[in-house]
């Protein structure tokens, strides 16, 4: 896949000055170039590739550089800041812990950790009464897989160890998470992949047109396995590359099949949880109940924290001190998570995402229809949306054009992270759930203008 990059030669762009956006310099800002050069020298090139903004401050729905520019944020970092950037209650909670000070505790007990685990359990179905805290989403997904395998093997013997996952899936970048992920390219470095994983085509309806649950059953069979071999199924509650949601019927059958075969169902909510889709967790859209829920990103709207929430019998499989991490439930992220969850619940930001989704979804559908030869598919729910940019009138991805569109938005003061998707063709939109209506409207207007300019009217 060719890599397309942002223009790094400063050029004059139209000045913008509104309540939500200010562009007052050339872009990229000429004074910022030495910083990008330093970054190239001291960080791996893998860290390059986002729109060239040097973040200096981020507050509410805005990101500021130190040269006077202000972007309206449609990235939420990378679906982190569901409660908005730098929420005052989150900042105050962090400050309180810093001022004590209580900066690290290992797994010695601290009160807020207990409070957070109780609060997380209260957001999950009855019977999923325990939460285990980690730092990164990738640790949460790997841990969930470890738990599912341990459950299957300890109950039924070593045969029940296979993990079913999906093509196109993303569960993180550490080794185990890459193995369960759906990208063949991302796995090349592992060279000798172990057995015990089956990748079922995700029923997205675009690249994989057959969305029937039979494909799931047949893929497992073709791999030479029966349900007695399967320990767990892991899936993002929506696949980030679309965002792609399970068809209702498929999800219902998946849930039933897992229950019938005592297969641990893991919903990876690292990206989709904490109100993003208009429900607290995205799996709540489906007629199924997971056994383990992986959380991250929006759990704090800020600092790094992840969690697995799960069924008591599965969560207690590991004896004392055998499933821990140095920074499990570290005091600062825990304080941030508690404050964030209180804001999300008190202000019903899931409900707000659901309410805003009407206008958001309708606008994305209208724009996609207007550019139907260039937008192969458009998906959205709550305040997450994606448009797949394709070569005219085909299903062939056009990552170069997706990047050009993303750059045109950036130059107008609307910030998204670089296009995602299996081929880099997806313009992904994920504003903070606190986005005011007029800011949403303004963002949609900017997107519409940029689409007309880049994709042609």
Ligand X SMILES: Cc1ncc(COP(=O)(O)O)c(C=O)c1O
Q: How far from the centroid of its chain's Cα atoms is residue 438's Cα?
A: 25
172 near ligand X, rule: CB under 6 A: yes
| Tokens 């169902």, residue located | 265
Give the bridge partners for 131, in sequence order: 309
181 near ligand X, rule: CB under 6 A: no
300 near ligand X, rule: CB under 6 A: no
Cα separation, 394 vs 206, whole angstroms: 12
Considering only 84, 201, 278, 296, the residue that binds ligand X (CB under 6 A) is 296
- Rounded to a whole number of angstroms, the minimum distance from the CB of residue 174 to ligand X is 7
Q: x-or-dash pattern for ligand X, window 212-251, by CB under 6 A?
A: ------------------------x---x-----------
Concatenated DSSP letters of 359-392: HHHHHHHHHHHHTTTTEEEEEEETTEEEEEEBST
Q: x-or-dash pattern for ligand X, window 117-156, by CB under 6 A?
A: -------------------xxx--x---------------
Give the bridge partners for 309, in sequence order: 131, 293
73 near ligand X, rule: CB under 6 A: no
Considering only 130, 149, 161, 171, the residue that binds ligand X (CB under 6 A) is 171
Cα separation, 117 vs 307, whole angstroms: 9
Determine the angle formed by the axes of helices 331-346 and 111-122, rounding to 10 degrees.
40
Strands 384-389 and 375-381: antiparallel
332 near ligand X, rule: CB under 6 A: no
Q: Which is nearer to ligand X, 165 or 350 (CB)?
A: 165
Contact stretch for ligand X (CB under 6 A) within 169-177, 243-251, 384-392, 433-441: 169-177
- Rounded to a whole number of angstroms, the minimum distance from the CB of residue 369 to ligand X is 28
Give the bridge partners for 164, in sequence order: 198, 233
Using a 10 angstrom Cβ sphere, with 0-12 exposed, 13-18 middle and 19 or more buried, the burial of residue 260 is exposed
Q: Which is nearer to ligand X, 323 or 451 (CB)?
A: 323
- Rounded to a whole number of angstroms, the minimum distance from the CB of residue 107 to ligand X is 20
Phi, psi of 352, rounded to the nearest 5 degrees: -65, -40
Count residues near ligand X (CB under 6 A): 13
| Site residues for ligand X per CB under 6 A | 136-138, 141, 170-172, 236, 240, 268, 270-271, 296
């Amino acid at each position: 896949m060719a890599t397309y990059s942002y223009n790094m030669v400063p050029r004059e762009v139209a000045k913008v000055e509104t309540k939500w956006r200010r562009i007052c310099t050339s872009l990229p800002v000429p004074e910022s170039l030495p910083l990008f050069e330093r970054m190239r020298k001291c960080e791996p090139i893998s860290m390059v590739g986002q729109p060239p903004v040097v973040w200096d401050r981020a507050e509410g729905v805005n990101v500021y550089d130190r040269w006077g520019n202000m972007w309206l944020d449609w990235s939420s970092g990378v679906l982190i800041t569901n409660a908005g950037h730098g929420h005052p209650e989150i900042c105050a909670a962090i400050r309180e812990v810093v001022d004590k000070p209580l900066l690290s505790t290992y797994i010695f007990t601290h009160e807020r950790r207990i409070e957070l685990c109780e609060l997380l359990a209260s957001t999950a179905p009855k019977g999923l009464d325990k939460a285990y805290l980690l730092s990164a989403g990738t640790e949460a997904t790997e841990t969930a897989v470890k738990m599912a395998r341990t459950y299957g093997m300890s109950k039924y013997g070593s045969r029940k160890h296979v993990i079913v996952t999906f093509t196109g899936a993303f569960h993180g970048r550490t080794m185990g998470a890459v193995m369960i992920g759906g990208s063949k390219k991302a796995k090349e470095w592992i060279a000798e992949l172990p057995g015990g994983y089956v990748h079922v085509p995700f029923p997205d309806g675009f690249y994989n047109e057959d969305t029937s649950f039979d494909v799931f059953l047949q893929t497992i069979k073709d791999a030479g396995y029966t349900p007695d071999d399967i320990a767990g199924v892991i899936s993002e509650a929506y696949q980030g590359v679309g965002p792609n949601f399970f068809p209702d019927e498929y999800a219902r059958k998946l849930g039933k099949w897992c229950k019938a075969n005592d297969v641990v169902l893991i919903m990876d909510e690292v990206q989709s949880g904490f109100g993003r889709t208009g429900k607290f967790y995205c799996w709540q859209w489906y007629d199924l109940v997971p056994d383990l829920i992986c959380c991250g990103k929006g759990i704090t709207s800020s600092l790094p924290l992840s969690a697995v929430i799960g069924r008591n019998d599965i969560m207690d499989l590991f004896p004392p001190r055998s499933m821990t991490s140095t920074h499990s439930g570290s005091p600062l992220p825990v304080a941030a998570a508690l404050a964030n969850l209180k804001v999300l619940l008190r202000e019903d930001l899931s409900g707000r995402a659901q309410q805003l989704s009407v206008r958001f979804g309708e606008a994305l559908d209208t724009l996609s229809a207007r550019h139907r030869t260039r937008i192969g598919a458009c998906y959205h729910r709550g305040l997450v949306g994606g448009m797949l940019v394709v070569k005219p009138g085909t299903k062939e991805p056009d990552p170069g054009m997706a990047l050009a569109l993303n750059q045109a938005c950036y130059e107008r003061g609307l910030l998204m992270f670089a296009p995602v998707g299996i081929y880099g063709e997806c313009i992904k939109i994920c504003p903070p759930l606190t986005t005011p209506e007029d800011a949403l409207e303004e963002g949609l207007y900017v997107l519409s203008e940029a689409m007309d300019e880049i994709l042609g009217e």
